[in-house]
Structure 1
Amino acid sequence: MKKTVALISLLGSLACALPAHAQFAKPEDAIKYRKAGFTLMAAHFGRLGAMAQGKVPFDAKAAAENADVLAVVGKLPYTAFVEGSDKGETRAKPEIWKESAKFKEAADNNQAEVAKLVAAAKTGNLDNLKAAFGSAAPTCKACHDHFRKD
Structure 2
Amino acid sequence: MKVHLGWALVSALMLTAGTAQAQFQKPEDAVKYRQSAFSVMGTHFSRIGAMANGRVPFDAKAAQDNAAIVLAMSKLPWAGFTPDTEKVKSRAKPELWMEMTKVQAGADKMVAAVVALDAAARTGNLDSVKKAFGETAATCKACHDAYRE
Q: How does 1:56-95 map to 2 (within 5 A)?
A: 56-95=56-95
In structure 2, relative to structure 1, the CA distance for the partners of 1:111 and 1:13 (3 Å cut) is closer
RMSD: 1.9
Q: Distance in 2 between matches of 1:60 and 1:16?
A: 32
Contact preservation (8 Å) 1:86, 1:93: no
Give the match for residue 28 of structure 2.
28
Secondary structure at 2:123's aligned position in 1?
Answer: coil
In structure 2, relative to structure 1, the CA distance for the partners of 1:77 and 1:13 (3 Å cut) is closer
Report the CA distance between 1:93 and its aligned residue: 1.4
1:14 aligns with 2:16: yes
In structure 2, relative to structure 1, the CA distance for the partners of 1:11 and 1:118 (3 Å cut) is closer
Give the match for residue 146 of structure 2.
146
1:101 aligns with 2:101: yes
Q: Distance in 1 between matches of 2:79 and 2:147?
A: 15
Secondary structure at 1:88's aligned position in 2?
Answer: coil
In structure 2, relative to structure 1, the CA distance for the partners of 1:13 and 1:127 (3 Å cut) is closer
Q: Distance in 2 between matches of 1:19 and 1:132?
A: 31
Give the match for residue 47 of structure 1.
47
Report the CA distance between 1:95 and its aligned residue: 1.7
1:130 aligns with 2:130: yes
The aligned length equals 143
Q: Distance in 2 between matches of 1:48 and 1:116?
A: 13
Percent identity for Structure 1 against Structure 2: 50
Q: Distance in 2 between matches of 1:95 and 1:18?
A: 27
Gaps of 5+ in 1: none
Secondary structure at 1:56's aligned position in 2?
Answer: coil
Which runs of structure 1 show a deviation greater than 6 angstroms over 4 or more consecutive aligned residues?
A: none
Report the CA distance between 1:140 and its aligned residue: 0.5
Q: Distance in 1 between matches of 2:73 and 2:55?
A: 23
Secondary structure at 1:87's aligned position in 2?
Answer: coil
CA offsets 1:33-80 (integer angstroms, 9 cap, x no match): 001001011101111111011111000111011011111111111111
Q: TM-score, normalised by structure 1?
A: 0.87
Amino acid at match of 1:15: A
In structure 2, relative to structure 1, the CA distance for the partners of 1:12 and 1:136 (3 Å cut) is closer
Q: Distance in 2 between matches of 1:106 and 1:13?
A: 22
Report the CA distance between 1:96 and its aligned residue: 1.8
Q: Distance in 2 between matches of 1:83 and 1:143?
A: 18
Q: Distance in 2 between matches of 1:141 and 1:14?
A: 32
